Every structure is written in C-alpha cells, then in structure tokens.
Amino acid sequence: MRESEDQVAVTADRFMETSQSIGPIVLLGPPGAGKGTQAKRITERYAIPQISTGDLLRENVRNGTALGLKAKDIMARGELVPDELLYDMVAERLRRPDCERGCILDGFPRTAAQAAWLDAFLEGGHSDKSKRGKWLPFVISMDVDYNLLLLRLTGRRTCPTCERIYNVHFQPPRVDEVCDLDGIKLVTRNDDREEVIRERLQAYERQTRPVAEYYQQKGRLVSVDGMGSADQVTEHVFREIANHSPAKVGGC
Ligand code: ADP
Ligand code: ADP
C-alpha cells in the first residue's frame, strides 16, 4: 500500500516536472564551469531543450555555412563571435515549438548587448510575439576558481556522436578515451588547448562578467557554487529551478 502511494507521488512529481512551464533558464559561467554538463541533466529532468550557441556554431563550422566560415577563425583564437552574427541563429532556435515550456541557454548571452537583445526578443520586440515563450530568463550563475577551470578544460573530452561530456581527471569513461554509450573514440575540442583557454577565460572576464551584473540589477540572478561534484552542483541547480517562478514578460 505504502509503496504504491510512493509510486503515485513520484509519478505526479515527474508529471509536474515534464509538463510545467519553466521559462528560459540561462546557465552563466566561464568556460569549464560545467554549463554543458548541467544543461544535459536539466534537459533530462524537465524535458526542455538545451540551446548551446557553442554547439550550434561548431555545427555551422562543420557544415561550412556562411556563418561557420565567418566564425571559424574567431573561435579557434578563443575570441567571442560578434553579437550580430548570432542573433538570427538564436532567434530561429527559440522560435521552435519545443521551446514553448522553456529552454536552457548554455553559452548565451555572453555580452551585455546579447542579454539586452534576448530580453527585447522575448518581450516581443522582434515580431512573431505570439509564438514565443512569455517569460524572461532566470539566470543561474556558476562560480568556479581559475585553476580548477584550467584543469577541467584541459581534461575535457567529448563524444563526437552523442555529445556526452567526459573529463580525464574527474569524469573518465569506463574505457580510456572511448564513449561509454556508443563506443566511439572521444575527441578533444580544438579550443581546449592551454594558450586558447587563457584567451577564452580573459574574454569571459572582459565581456561576460557584465552579463551577471545586468541580470543581478534586474533581480533575476542566483549563484551556485560550481566547485563541488557534478551531482552536488546538480542538486543546487535543481533546487533553484524548483524554487523560481518564471518572470512574466510585462511583469504580470
Ligand atoms: P565553453 O563551453 O567552453 O564555454 P562554448 O562551446 O560555449 O564554450 O563556446 C565556444 C566558442 O564559441 C566561444 O569561445 C566563442 O568563440 C563562440 N561562442 C559561443 N557562444 C557565443 C556567444 N554567445 N557569443 C559569442 N561567441 C560565442
Ligand atoms: P562548460 O560547458 O561550462 O564549458 P562542461 O560542462 O563542458 O563546461 O565541463 C567542463 C569539463 O569539466 C568537462 O570535462 C566536464 O566533464 C567537467 N566537469 C563539469 N562539471 C564538473 C564538476 N562539477 N566536477 C568535476 N568536473 C566537472
């Protein structure tokens, strides 16, 4: 009897998590903070899509699109791609029906201008208002010390097929350099080399720190300690998501 009541409660919780409106969640943090790792877990738990501008740009580079050709060298140097090049790509993704209940933005916005653009877009200033989410972003900032970021980034490996993220120091695959899920050889990202990593971390300090201030001033930012194990961070992130109520466009 007790067991079936528990089962009903678990099923009801799962139903809530996968049907309620979450709104857009921004994961903010330097390269290596764990945004991609946590985004995948949020996607599984809440059934909302992960939108990683890094992944979308790398796809454009692989496919040799006009955007990819412009972004390729900039990304290889560890610099940020100019704001205006990203907006069409992000707008197109946000308009898709799977974003109706919410989405996780991983790696966007990365400049104060991008943050202002995103608010304006969600407020309907860029046409097609009816089709989009009716909420402003809720921002979870992940803090991690510089030296740990370096270690995480140099140890990062990714599966080129399923995009699962590993780390040779902290989250190794069962067999060295091979994906647990599909047996494919893992790859190291082109920009996870020490000299490029330093440039990316500098770009973060220079251009992305102001994004935290932007959201802080609007009262839409919470910080979590990103230094613990991935499971500990997930616990904090889920708690913050469960406790937030999506901020409606127009403030009502
Ligand atoms: P990480 O996960 O290490 O933070 P990403 O995969 O998010 O890195 O981004 C890789 C690269 O793609 C960045 O160094 C930058 O060149 C480009 N990029 C991704 N998102 C943005 C963005 N929002 N604005 C400008 N450039 C971006
Ligand atoms: P980001 O998207 O912010 O650049 P990732 O999620 O790709 O960060 O994580 C960077 C690296 O650190 C990956 O190799 C990942 O396996 C590892 N990692 C992520 N979170 C943790 C954590 N909490 N503890 C230890 N390693 C982690």
CA distance 214 to 164: 31
81 found inside a domain? no
Counting from 1 in the atom list of ligand 1, the atom nearest the Cα of 203 is 14
pLDDT band at 7 (very low <50, low <70, confident <90, very high): confident
61 found inside a domain? no
Mean pLDDT of the chain: 92
Just list the catalytic residues. 35, 110, 156, 189, 200
The pTM score is: 0.92
Amino acid 127: pLDDT: 46
Going from the Cα of 227 to the center of ligand 1, the distance in angstroms, rounded, reads 21
- State the residue range of the domain holding 142: 2-48+101-242
89 found inside a domain? no
Which CATH number belongs to the domain containing residue 154 in this structure?
3.40.50.300
Q: Given a cut of 90, is residue 5 above it in pLDDT? A: no
| Cα angle, residue 22 at apex, residues 115 and 94 outer, rounded to 5° | 50
Average pLDDT over residues 189-198: 94
63 found inside a domain? no
40 found inside a domain? yes
C-alpha to C-alpha distances, 228 to 17, 106, 109, 127, nearest whole angstrom: 25, 19, 24, 42
Q: Given a cut of 60, is residue 131 above it in pLDDT? A: no
CA distance 240 to 233: 11
160 found inside a domain? yes
Map residue 200 onto helix, strand or coil. Answer: helix
Q: Write down the residue that tokens 């007790």 correspond to.
A: 2
CA distance 42 to 47: 8
CA distance 166 to 230: 11
Residues 15-56: tens digit of each pLDDT: 777 778 899 999 999 999 999 999 999 999 999 999 999 999
Counting from 1 in the atom list of ligand 2, the atom nearest the Cα of 155 is 14
| Cα angle, residue 89 at apex, residues 115 and 105 outer, rounded to 5° | 45
Number of domains the chain contains? 1
Amino acid 166: pLDDT: 97
73 found inside a domain? no
Q: Write down the residue that tokens 């290889």 correspond to.
A: 76
From 7-16, 181-190, 237-246, the region with the lowest mean pLDDT: 7-16
Probe target for ligand 2 pocket from 28, 50, 152, with the most ligand atoms within 8 Å of CB? 152
pLDDT band at 4 (very low <50, low <70, confident <90, very high): confident
The amino acid sitting at 91 is: A
162 found inside a domain? yes
- Element at 158 (helix H, strand E): strand 156-158
What is the DSSP pairing of strand 156-158 with strand 50-52? unpaired
Average pLDDT over residues 61-90: 97
Tokens of 130: 């009816």
- Looking at all shown ligands, the one closest to residue 172's CA atom is 2
Sheet order of strands, 50-52 included: 50-52, 102-106, 23-28, 138-143, 221-225
pLDDT band at 6 (very low <50, low <70, confident <90, very high): confident
Q: Given a cut of 50, is residue 252 above it in pLDDT? A: no
